[in-house]
Structure 1
Amino acid sequence: MTVTAEVIAVAADGAHRFAKPRRNEIRLIEGLGVEGDAHLGVTVQHLSRQKKDPGAVNLRQVHLIHAELFDELAAKGFAVAPGELGENVTVRGIDLLGLPEGAVLALGNAARVRVTGLRNPCKQIDRFQKGLMAALLNKAADGTLVRKSGVMAVVVASGVVRAGDAVRIVSAPAAFVALPVV
């Protein structure tokens, strides 16, 4: 595939807070995640998931959101900026939610991430802006729940990522597998 998109913003936070401050650049570390981010690690770092299974593999090393979501939310009266939903990388020009499980994205010159699944929106979203969680969920024609709050990935090649960097799909599994919730 040759889809090309762009990184709009990058963010990281060493503490477990809902929103992440924007940075000029972030460094992705193979097998771990975003350097200096609270979710860096081989095992799960999300506090609610640590309580359930602290030794589980961290499939949520990097959180990516499509900037088009912010446009959609603005049309519904919500003002959301990059990093405010806790994402590390905001991109424009690629259908993140339509990617298959296992798709590999190139972020900038060297960094590569493998998409592991969908982010499941949580109640913290409504604490940020009342009613926002409902705006991040939808129902498909068949009645299934559509989660729109981005995708999660693991780092498969280290590298620095900055706003303005290209985003490319570099590989995808031959058989399409819809993204699970991770």
Structure 2
Amino acid sequence: MPAEVIAVAAAAGHAFSKPVLPDITLLAGLGVAGDAHCGVTVKHRSRVKANPDQPNLRQVHLVDAGLLEELRGQGFDVSPGAIGENVTVAGLDLLALPQGTLLHLGDAAVVEVTGLRNPCYQLDHFQPGLMRATLGRTPEGALILKAGIMAIVRQGGVVRPGDAVRAEMPALPHRALEKV
């Protein structure tokens, strides 16, 4: 099955969930037009408090539709946009991508994967137990952060449900994703 965009979402305010929209516009170097996290410098409130001048490596939040299915299977009421993502994707293992992967979304937009979303306590405020449900362990015991990946916009464009998603791997050696 080819990878595709399942849903897109954005919110002007710092609400936890984002409403699903018919389309979003990605702006090169900034993020999602009209979204609270759009900008050259960091917009996440905890990160602004620590250092408002740090670069915004979290312009676009992408989540695998499989995570939402997994969470629903555990009894959580989640749908696209519910955990704050801008783009819900099916058919591509987002967590397995290396840093620097370019994701081509639709006809024009390109985002560069910067790292993993670090699940935070806000997940539990949304639905108790949700934060723990977005964490896993490898067979060796290493922590897996499953709450999605973060990216910056390299090339702007409109993104809609049904758009194809194509991953362009960076040069070797690949660097594993870390939280950003």
Q: TM-score range by the shorter chain?
A: over 0.9
Q: Is the 8 A contact 1:7 1:92 kept in 2?
A: yes
Identity %: 57
Tell me the distance in 1 between the aligned counterparts of 2:78 and 2:170.
30
Cα RMSD (Å) of the superposition? 1.0
Tell me, in whole angstroms, the C-alpha distance in 2 between the residues paired with 1:142 and 1:173: 28
Of the three residues 46, 60, 63, the one matched with 2:61 is 63
Is 1:76 the counterpart of 2:83? The answer is no
Q: Determine the C-alpha separation between the residues in 2 that align with 1:32 and 1:129.
A: 30
Which aligned segments of 4 or more residues in structure 1 are displaced greater than 4 angstroms?
none
Structure 1 gaps, min length 5 = none
1:176 — aligned with what? 174
| Residues 120, 147 of structure 1: 8 Å contact kept | yes
Which residue of the partner structure matches residue 131 of structure 1?
129
**Which 5+ residue runs of structure 2 have no aligned equivalent?**
none
- For normalisation by structure 2, the TM-score amounts to 0.97
Question: Which position in structure 2 is the counterpart of 1:30?
Answer: 28
Q: What amino acid does structure 1 have at the position aligned with 2:125?
A: R
Q: How many residues align?
A: 180
Other structure's SS at 2:111 match = strand
1:27 CA displacement:
0.2
Could you say what secondary structure the match of 1:94 adopts? coil
Partner of 1:69, secondary structure, is helix
Residue of 119, 133, 138 corresponding to 1:121: 119
Amino acid at match of 2:26: L
Separation in structure 2 between the aligned mates of residue 173 and residue 5 of structure 1, nearest angstrom? 21
**Hey, what does 2:92 align to over in structure 1?**
94
Distance 2:167 2:2 in 1: 7
Deviation at 1:172, TM superposition (A): 2.4
Summarize the Cα distance change of 1:89–1:40 in structure 2 as closer, same or farther, 3 Å threshold.
same
Q: Which is worse superposed, 167-176 or 39-48?
A: 167-176
Name 1:103's counterpart in structure 2: 101
**Which amino acid in the other structure matches residue 45 of structure 2?**
L
CA contact (8 A) 2:98 2:169 kept: no
Residue 10 of structure 1 is matched in structure 2 by 8
Q: Give 3-state SS (helix, strand or coil) of 1:163's partner.
A: coil
Q: What TM-score comes out, normalization by structure 1 length?
A: 0.96
Tell me the residue number matched to 1:39: 37
Decide whether the 8 Å contact of 1:4 with 1:169 is kept in 2: no
Q: 1:153 offset after TM fit, Å?
A: 0.0
Q: Structure 1, residues 10-67: CA drift from partner, whole Å, max 9, x if none?
A: 0000101100011100000000000000000000000000000100000000000000
Tell me the distance in 2 between the aligned counterparts of 1:11 and 1:173.
Answer: 31
Q: Is the 8 A contact 1:115 1:152 kept in 2?
A: yes
